[in-house]
Chains A and B, each alone.
Chain A
Amino acid sequence: MKTSTEDLLRGARAGDKEATDTLFGIAYDELRRIARRVRHGGNETLSTTALVHEAYLKLLPSAVPANDTAHFKLLIARAMREVLIDGARRRTAGKRGGGDIAVTLDDDVQAAPLKTAQLLELHAALEELEQVDPRRVAVVECRFFGGLDVEETAAALNLSTATVKRDWRVARAWLAKALL
């Protein structure tokens, strides 16, 4: 078990499984916590970018090397993906099993079920894409789920900004087609 934040980040970037799992778990918990708190506050306009950013600020107040923080942002983006997919699955599972109370507090009551389904489809499409093109999936995760801009995504994935731009456009078109 690593002792300091720096060790954890460095370990995760170097591919240490335990450090990665721990950081991922922390990010997952924190994102859900913030999302829940925002819900309770009645603020529905929270964007994922803001959510990820808040988690990032909360979890990384101390100065750490830039490439380590970039890698951590990637982990947060992945966690965000999982948080959303889990949430969507719970919703649909709740409807089938009939055990849970239906959501009633949404402003966009109509939109929610639709988006839930779309999100699950997107997840499935990403899993398919992962088989042939894991790098572009990573770009999508950073941009879409992590709300990272092109420069941040490039830093997190150690790619050039041009590659990120191109990957994003290609992946977006592929996903949009897959979601038709």
Chain B
Amino acid sequence: MEIFERVLEASPDARDQLIRDETGNDAELAATVRAMLTADASANDLLDDGIGRLAHLAVEPGHVESTEVLPGARIGDFEIIAELGRGGMGIVYAARDRTLGRVAALKLLPAGAAIDSAASERLIAEAQAASALDHPNVATIYQIGVTHDGHRFIAMARYEGETLRDRLARGPLASREAFGIARQVASGLAAAHAAGLVHRDVKPENIFLTRQGLVKLLDFGIATLAGSPREGPTRGTVLYMSPEQARCELADARSDVWSLGVVLYEMLTGQPPFTGDTAAEILGQIADASPVKLPSVVRKIPTAAVATIARALEKDPGKRYANGSEFSVDLDRVHGLWSRPRNLRIGIAVAAGIAIVAASIALLNDDRVSTPEMPQLAVLPVAGDSADHEATELASALSEEIAARVVGLGRVRIVPLRRDSAGYVVSRPGLHLLSLVIQRDPIGPVLEVSLEESSSSRTMWSDRRGFDRKELRELGRDVVIGVLHALGQPVTERERGIIGSGFPSSAEAYEEYLRGNRLLALRTPPAVESALVRYRRASRLDTTFAGAFARQSYAYSLLLEWGWKPSRLVPADPLVEGLALANRATMLDSTSADAWLAQAYILVQRDPRRFAGAVEAFQYAISLDPYNAEAFHQYGQTLTALGRYPEALAAYRRALALEPDRAMSLVPMAAIYKRQGRLAESLRLLDSAVSAAPRVPYARAARSTSRTLTGNAKGARDDAEIALGLDSNYRIPPLAALARALWLSGDSLAALARLREAERSVADPSAPSPTEAYWIAMAEVAAGRTERATTLLRDARPKGAWLWFYFQGPELDELRKNPEVAALLADVDPRRRVR
């Protein structure tokens, strides 16, 4: 190269000589230099064009979807409104029928498929015939056709709900639910098979679960219509293929039976029976391997269920069910084994709740804390000997439980303790004070209980007992009964049992429970997982301890809300577990506000779109314990996400009245104000939140964003930076808030660096939680990257009320003007009426 450089510098005449001198006898080297000289003198397309015309290579082919059309485009009888999603088989759009006005889901297939027109006609006819079946489990097709540029499209009825694939992304289904879905699919297949039609592509993507619980089979005949024979099969498409399909033989009804068998297996276990890293590997498994035995994966699966699936998955089509109809008979039979629906009990429980709710709603609307005829009770903090710290702590927890029990029976009101400026308890007629004191005694700690009327200081009842850790239940029950008795409220025999169940029968269980409470209060995923383990132990040590079951369910709800991922500590499906645990808790003690709170919270998780039943359960929990700030707060949160702002604000105000410095409640109130355009009030609330809890990161992160809306980029930056340093588990909101503030102050590279960091902190980038999606989207929008924000919204899970609420903020005003965003948000709007 150096030689070449010198040669280049020489005059053209002298070059030849120079090459000879420099290379000596090395002919190869001389040739190289000469070749370089030639290359230097001649043009080179690639190098001289620069890469001007290569810029498009930066985009991978997958993004160059030939089926992309813009809103407003006309296809068949339809006008495109917005993109709904995309998959391997083209893009799905929301489209309006120009004559009938109805909105349809329009799927535009790639043009590439080289199918001869006769085959194509046949398949179109088949899809139309399937639609003509008019079966409740087969999706209705409005129109099938070809666009002027040769793309096939299918316009079908648009249903509310999700695909089975979406559902599976949250984990396996309960056996009953799985068989319930499978029998509906089989029923749809049965009708098709009877008409001589074969689906050929039964898979979770093609099974749609409507919100009404109806299952719709999509895409009849379309698989072959869209598939390109030139291309080899991909991993995703072979998982559900029957052995005969894998051998490229003709698929008949029995092939559909196989595919549904695979889907059913996957619903139960979360994994398809035949898997592998490559298509070839999977095909090999389908042909030869037997799947992992169901009973080793699924707990308590009936033999009939195992046999049914085994028959659907026979390698030899002749040994399988002959068609959907035969399959559905056995599926129905198996489904019938679960005679009592898992959710029925919740249904009953909620119904019971609603009956009593009328009273609690009246209470919510009434700002006075008490009605005069009920005795009032305030509980003094437990006084104890510092030498026996453990006993004192146990007694403190016990006193809370006692208060909850007394309230649970509905005949006494517990009121917050009020103190005057000197620290003395404010007394008034009708207010009773309960005090518990732990004393030291040679035989062990002793508990002294006394109840006195506050204005007269008259002792109404007192007791002194050994504080035996093995007899907490008896102790607690006796105190509750003693208090009620002294207040003129005798206790029935049935109530005695209920009261007892509120207390743990073993001190070990209680201690585990208290440790769990401490962990739960930290509100971080690892702490909540550890809390779960404590509660689980507590409930094993004492299987009648309602509180342990309730809190366990509550912890599951928290994890679900934060985007649960399977872990060593929480391997089961938290939704199913949570529902069962909340049921168990309300069954053990129907008067426990905690149990109802757990019930309400898990119902929120069960139906992220509308929180069916949750509002009623919250109201019932509140009626049982109207002094539970946490219950009001959670109730407020639920109403917030549902867009019921005035009611939500009222609930937060109650929570604040009970615990004035709750930053936790101030922040969502500020969020509502922000959405109502009351920015100044919103900022004032956030100021109070930050000063009440300067070390709570979410108050700072929220204020940071609000400050950017008023142009206070400097303040926004400070808040976000401080928030970032407060909690190593709380990363994404402060990072995104900081990115936004940095961008708005012109620090673009630093902003994008923070944004990258935030993006990388997302637990599951393919499905960010609504919170994660919101925070990052808000920073992306500030940086002008609206398409990234849209992608976040599109990918966020679960799709529901929270996603809707988060994306209503004024910082996303611009984004919401995008038609796709508007359509995505309309879809999750909890206020919209369901068809």
Report if A and B associate in a common complex.
yes
Residues of A within 8 A of B (CB): 1-5, 7-9, 22-23, 25-26, 29-33, 35-40, 44-51, 58-62, 72, 80, 83-84, 86-88, 90-91, 94, 97-106, 108, 111-112, 115-116, 118-119, 122, 132-133, 144-145, 147, 166, 169-170, 172-177, 179-180
B40 and A103 form a contact (CB under 8 A): no
In this complex, what residue of B is CB-closest to A62?
B746
Q: Which residues of A contact B232 (CB under 8 A)?
A: 97-99
Q: Which residue, of B37, B40, B746, B749, has the highest number of chain A Cβ atoms within 10 A?
A: B749
Q: Which residues of A contact B788 (CB under 8 A)?
A: 33
CA distance in complex: A114, B47 (Å): 14
Known: A2-B753, A48-B52, A180-B39. A172 touches B47 (CB 8 A): yes
Q: Contact partner of A32 among B58, B65, B756, B784, CB < 8 A?
A: B58
Q: Which residues of B contact A88 (CB under 8 A)?
A: 57
Q: Which residues of B contact A132 (CB under 8 A)?
A: 1
B1 and A101 form a contact (CB under 8 A): no
A144 and B749 form a contact (CB under 8 A): no
- Produce 1/0 per residue, B585-626, CB < 8 A to A: 000000000000000000000000000000000000000000
Q: Contact partner of A51 among B55, B751, B753, CB < 8 A?
A: B55
- Produce 1/0 per residue, B445-458, CB < 8 A to A: 00000000000000
Known: A39-B59, A105-B66, A176-B39. A59 touches B52 (CB 8 A): no
Q: How many A-B residue pairs have CB under 8 A?
A: 198
- Show 6 A/B contacts (Cβ-Cβ < 8 Å), sorted by A: A5-B742, A72-B749, A104-B111, A105-B66, A170-B5, A177-B38
Residues of B within 8 A of A (CB): 1, 4-5, 8, 32, 35-40, 42, 44, 46-47, 50-66, 68, 110-112, 230-232, 234, 721, 742, 746-753, 756-757, 784-785, 787-788
In this complex, what residue of B is CB-closest to A7?
B750
B35 and A37 form a contact (CB under 8 A): no
Given A36-B59, A62-B746, A177-B32, 10 new contacts (CB under 8 A): A1-B757, A4-B750, A5-B747, A5-B751, A39-B59, A87-B58, A97-B232, A99-B231, A101-B66, A177-B36
In this complex, what residue of A is CB-closest to B66?
A104
Smallest CB-CB A-B distances: 6 pairs: A176-B39, A47-B52, A35-B58, A173-B40, A5-B749, A173-B36
CA distance in complex: A123, B23 (Å): 28
B750 and A8 form a contact (CB under 8 A): yes
In this complex, what residue of A is CB-closest to B35?
A177
B47 and A87 form a contact (CB under 8 A): no
Known: A47-B52, A104-B66, A180-B39. A4 touches B747 (CB 8 A): yes
Q: Contact partner of B57 among A62, A84, A100, CB < 8 A?
A: A84
A35 and B53 form a contact (CB under 8 A): no
In this complex, what residue of A is CB-closest to B64?
A105
In this complex, what residue of B is CB-closest to A108?
B53
Q: Which residues of A contact B747 (CB under 8 A)?
A: 4-5, 62
CA distance in complex: A147, B37 (Å): 24
CA distance in complex: A33, B749 (Å): 16
Q: Contact partner of A176 among B8, B47, B57, B750, CB < 8 A?
A: B47
In this complex, what residue of B is CB-closest to A115?
B54
B1 and A133 form a contact (CB under 8 A): yes
Q: Which residues of A contact B750 (CB under 8 A)?
A: 2-5, 7-8
Q: Contact partner of A59 among B63, B742, B749, CB < 8 A?
A: B749
Q: Which residues of B contact A105 (CB under 8 A)?
A: 64, 66
Known: A47-B50, A133-B1. A5 touches B785 (CB 8 A): no
CB distance from B41 to the nearest CB of A (A): 9
B58 and A84 form a contact (CB under 8 A): yes
Q: Which residues of B contact A60 (CB under 8 A)?
A: 748-749
CA distance in complex: A131, B64 (Å): 36
Q: Which residues of B contact A119 (CB under 8 A)?
A: 46, 51, 54, 57
A35 and B50 form a contact (CB under 8 A): no
In this complex, what residue of A is CB-closest to B749?
A5
CA distance in complex: A5, B746 (Å): 9
Q: Contact partner of A170 among B4, B58, B230, B746, CB < 8 A?
A: B4
CA distance in complex: A121, B700 (Å): 52
Q: Which residues of A contact B57 (CB under 8 A)?
A: 84, 87-88, 91, 112, 115-116, 119
CA distance in complex: A4, B738 (Å): 11
CB distance from B779 to the nearest CB of A (A): 13
In this complex, what residue of A is CB-closest to B721?
A3
Q: Contact partner of A39 among B47, B52, B56, B112, CB < 8 A?
A: B56
Q: Which residues of A contact B230 (CB under 8 A)?
A: 98
CB distance from B59 to the nearest CB of A (A): 5
CB distance from B23 to the nearest CB of A (A): 15
B47 and A103 form a contact (CB under 8 A): no
Q: Which residues of A contact B64 (CB under 8 A)?
A: 39, 103-105
Known: A106-B56, A166-B5. A100 touches B50 (CB 8 A): no
Q: Which residues of A contact B38 (CB under 8 A)?
A: 177
CA distance in complex: A3, B44 (Å): 45
Known: A61-B748, A62-B746. A22 touches B753 (CB 8 A): yes
Q: Contact partner of B53 among A7, A23, A47, A173, CB < 8 A?
A: A47
CB distance from A49 to the nearest CB of B (A): 7
B39 and A173 form a contact (CB under 8 A): yes
CA distance in complex: A116, B51 (Å): 11
CA distance in complex: A145, B46 (Å): 12
B752 and A169 form a contact (CB under 8 A): no
A87 and B60 form a contact (CB under 8 A): yes
Q: Which residues of B contact A62 (CB under 8 A)?
A: 746-748
Q: Contact partner of A118 among B36, B39, B46, B58, CB < 8 A?
A: B46
B1 and A48 form a contact (CB under 8 A): no
CA distance in complex: A94, B1 (Å): 37
CB distance from A107 to the nearest CB of B (A): 9
CB distance from A33 to the nearest CB of B (A): 7
Q: Contact partner of A23 among B54, B55, B721, B749, CB < 8 A?
A: B749
CA distance in complex: A86, B32 (Å): 31
Q: Which residues of B contact A99 (CB under 8 A)?
A: 231-232, 234
Q: Contact partner of A26 among B35, B51, B756, CB < 8 A?
A: B756
Q: Which residue, of B54, B68, B748, has the highest number of chain A Cβ atoms within 10 A?
A: B54
Known: A8-B749, A58-B748, A177-B36. A36 touches B63 (CB 8 A): yes
Q: Contact partner of B110 among A45, A101, A145, CB < 8 A?
A: A101
A173 and B4 form a contact (CB under 8 A): yes
Q: Which residues of B contact A50 (CB under 8 A)?
A: 55
Q: Contact partner of B40 among A5, A7, A97, A169, CB < 8 A?
A: A169
CA distance in complex: A111, B49 (Å): 13
A144 and B47 form a contact (CB under 8 A): yes
Q: Which residues of B contact A2 (CB under 8 A)?
A: 750, 753
Q: Which residues of B contact A97 (CB under 8 A)?
A: 232
Q: Which residues of A contact B751 (CB under 8 A)?
A: 5
In this complex, what residue of A is CB-closest to B48?
A172
Q: Which residue, of B68, B748, B788, has the highest number of chain A Cβ atoms within 10 A?
A: B748
Known: A26-B749, A99-B231, A170-B5. A180 touches B55 (CB 8 A): no
CB distance from A174 to the nearest CB of B (A): 6
CA distance in complex: A174, B1 (Å): 8
In this complex, what residue of A is CB-closest to B41?
A173
In this complex, what residue of A is CB-closest to B45?
A118
Known: A33-B785, A47-B50. A101 touches B756 (CB 8 A): no
B753 and A26 form a contact (CB under 8 A): yes
CB distance from B608 to the nearest CB of A (A): 31
Q: Which residue, of B38, B46, B55, B59, has the highest number of chain A Cβ atoms within 10 A?
A: B55
CB distance from A32 to the nearest CB of B (A): 6
